[in-house]
Amino acid sequence: MTKSKVVLVTGVSSGIGRATAARFARQGCVVFGTVRNVQKAQAIAGVELVEMDVREQSSVQRAVQNIVAKAGRIDVLVNNAGGTLVGAVEETSIAEAQALFDTNVFGALRTSQAVLPHMRRQRSGRIVNVSSVLGFLPAPYMGLYSATKHAVEGLSETLDHEVRNFGVRVVLVEPSYTKTNLDLNAPQAASPISAYDADRDLASKAIVRSVQEAPGPDTVAATIVDAALSGWTMRRTPKGEASLLRKLRRFMPAGPVDATLRKNFGLA
């Protein structure tokens, strides 16, 4: 049984998850990274890839059991796997909303519930849930994605209270836009309503522009690793725009925040 921290990161095929798994490995951790298809995934130095789909209960349970059988424990869980969606709330189908919640919210819930019995038994552990600035500052035409991240925030705070006496802590990481393929190629709601076309186009262009100007995933990965391995703080916001937006939300009156948000999305 290894004495190094045993880390499980979900969704490591690309972007933030891949950068995070690689950074944990460079820190000397024993790292398991989940992908939907191991055969199609690119190797990551120092990371053992594990086939797991956060949308399937049996897949999650099987993967966690195999990791514990091999490594003896799980010290850190990073719930990173997720999806996104651009579209007005009215034009987003219930099926699209359910699919997004199934990955972003219930996926994190499934993995947390699978890992927690082991963390409680060992009387230690850290769960890092990757949220977003949209978890506290929702944006137009990102309503359902924002809703999933609000749900993750609420679950995380509640869970931290519930598991604290077992030596387990929960942390939220709240990045802003990050230059990844997920953000650059965000899917659109499948049945657009023409009345929203003009504003949706403005918002979509603003999102793409923000992503193109954003830092790469390494900045967020550094924040995640720090959140996992250093002293506990409920929220970790990467330096730069994410930190600025949290201060904006916290200290500015609602009216100016609303006006600034609409201006940034071209809706003013």
List, by residue number, the catalytic residues.
Answer: 13, 131, 145, 149
Torsion, CA 155, CA 17, CA 99, CA 52, rounded to 10: -100
Which residue in the block uniquely carries the two structure tokens 């993967």? 63
Secondary structure of the chain in HEC code, one letter for each residue:
CCCCCEEEECCCCCHHHHHHHHHHHHCCCEEEEEECCHHHCCCCCCEEEEECCCCCHHHHHHHHHHHHHHHCCCCEEEECCCCCCEECCCCCCHHHHHHHHHHHCHHHHHHHHHHHHHHHHHCCEEEEEECCHHHCCCCCCEHHHHHHHHHHHHHHHHHHHHHHHHCEEEEEECCCCCCCHHHHCCCECCCCCHHHHHHHHHHHHHHHHHHHHCCCHHHHHHHHHHHHHCCCCCEECCCCHHHHHHHHHHHCCHHHHHHHHHHHCCCC
